[in-house]
Amino acid sequence: MRLYQIFGVLLLAYVAMALPSDAGRSSTVTTVSIVKQFGYPIEEHVVQTSDGYILTMHRIPYSKQTGNDGSKRPVIFLMHGLLCSSSDWVLSGPENGLAFLLSDAGYDVWMGNARGNTYSRKHASKSPLLSPFWDFEWHDIGIYDLPAMIDNVLYQTGEESLQYVGHSQGTTSFFVLNTMIPRFKNRIRSAHLLAPVVWMDHMESPLAKVGGPLLGQPNAFIELFGNAEFLPNTYAMQLMGSLMCRDSSAVQALCSNALFLMGGWDSPYLNATMIPDIMATTPAGCSINQIYHYLQEYNSGFFRQFDYGSTRNKKKYSIKTPPTYDVEAVDVPIYLYYSDNDYFASLIDVDRLRYTLNPSILKRAYRLPEEKWNHLDFLWGMGIKEILYDLVMEDIANA
Ligand SMILES: *[C@@H]1O[C@H](CO)[C@@H](O)[C@H](O)[C@H]1NC(C)=O
């Protein structure tokens, strides 16, 4: 192991353990406030998962352009990525925010929020201030949160199926759901996956390169740290940011944001006007285990369940190595959208997904021609409507 990696691990350990100085941050910028600000109707729906987490979903039932004409609108469900939330889809406003664009195009737009994020920090019996609340990772988002939210949407709307859009971890959890609970294929008409993250051994995220070798070992730190919220300490992040992205002083502020430290800050498509709102809503909170699980993938090259080390694996899974997710068996029409400069979803890893999926369900694999398009540009990149969303919406309409 190289020296910088040792240093990185220590730093990351400090980041993860340090008392969160951001705790209790109460932002006034929320999904509801943003949607209201633009004059669209917004609803909140509360859903309880079968393991007790209480999630808040957001819904734009109709567009302010059309008003509520009582017509039945096709239902679409948007699922955010790691450290993100439903705010992702509305932050860039009616011209570029996917939730608004879909609403204007006639859809009934539902946005999920995974356990642990800003809008989903409640549980029937556990407090988010205590460690047992944080005993989850994206496997649980796939097998508990997505089913609860999707079923609720279908119940509320009286529909039998919906269309799914996921970004990043919202694509990982999609594959968890569809490999673990295959009957959900009947409830998802098509899946539109932005920056799909399944296999990860080629990820280029700086945080993975530094933290992966040690933190991605089976069982490495979970016992030591216990379950905790990944709440990066501001000072530690600033230190890490100044080490990792000293070259781009223009976006120094971003370099102390965990999301950008992982997703990259070097995009020419970043809209500077949006930075204050992005910083106010992200990172939106997750469990440290979600990050460990991704780092395990980076190390192992497998897309499989959490590795607790052979002894605990045997207890939990009845075998020494964690079971893999059977991606080949997924049977939902899938559309992939990916790019060259994506630190999380590298081309090699996306290709592996693309050629593993059953060819009869892969409807599109669109590699953006924009070479500098990065992982977060799939949400907020300048010109995203023309560059990407027009195509996504066409696919949704034709699926
Ligand atoms: C940048 O973001 C602001 C605020 O959301 C928006 O009004 C503006 O249209 C965006 N600019 C571009 C070029 O997308």
Mean pLDDT is highest, among 41-45, 126-130, 219-223, 344-348, for: 41-45
Is the beta carbon of 92 within 6 A of some atom in ligand 1?
yes
Mutate which of 95, 101, 377 to test ligand 1's pocket (most atoms within 8 Å of Cβ)? 95
Residue 19 predicted with pLDDT over 80? no
Q: Which domains does the chain have, with CATH numbers?
A: 3-398 (3.40.50.1820)
pLDDT tens readout for residues 260-279: 777 777 788 988 888 888 87
Find all residues with CB under 8 Å of 160, minimum gap 6, and list them. Answer: 154, 186, 187
Residues recognised as catalytic: 168, 342, 375
Helix, strand counts (H, E) of the chain: 18, 9
Average pLDDT over residues 216-240: 68
Average pLDDT over residues 47-58: 98
pLDDT band at 21 (very low <50, low <70, confident <90, very high): very low
Q: Are 154 and 305 in contact (CB under 8 A)?
A: no
Spatial separation of the C-alpha atoms in residues 267 and 253, rounded to whole Å: 14
pLDDT of residue 246: 60
Q: Give the number of the atom of ligand 1 that is nearest the alpha carbon of residue 384.
A: 14
Q: Tell me, letter by letter, the H, E, C secondary structure of 28-94.
A: CCCHHHHHHHCCCCCEEEEEECCCCEEEEEEEECCCCCCCCCCCCCCEEEEECCCCCCHHHHCCCHH
pLDDT of residue 331: 97
- Under DSSP, the state recorded for 65 is T
pLDDT of residue 241: 67
Closest listed residue to residue 93, CA positions, set 57, 56, 39 = 39
Residue 14 predicted with pLDDT over 70? no
- Under DSSP, the state recorded for 46 is E
| Identity of the amino acid at 192 | H
| Residue bearing the CA closest to ligand 1, atom 5 | 92
Residue 144 predicted with pLDDT over 90? yes
Spatial separation of the C-alpha atoms in residues 185 and 189, rounded to whole Å: 7
Measured CA distances, 286 to 136, 178, 257, 277 (Å): 9, 22, 14, 19
Q: Supply the pTM of this predicted model.
A: 0.90
Is the beta carbon of 271 within 6 A of some atom in ligand 1?
yes
| Identity of the amino acid at 7 | F
Q: State in Å: Cα 302 to ligand 1 middle.
A: 39
Residue 206 predicted with pLDDT over 60? yes
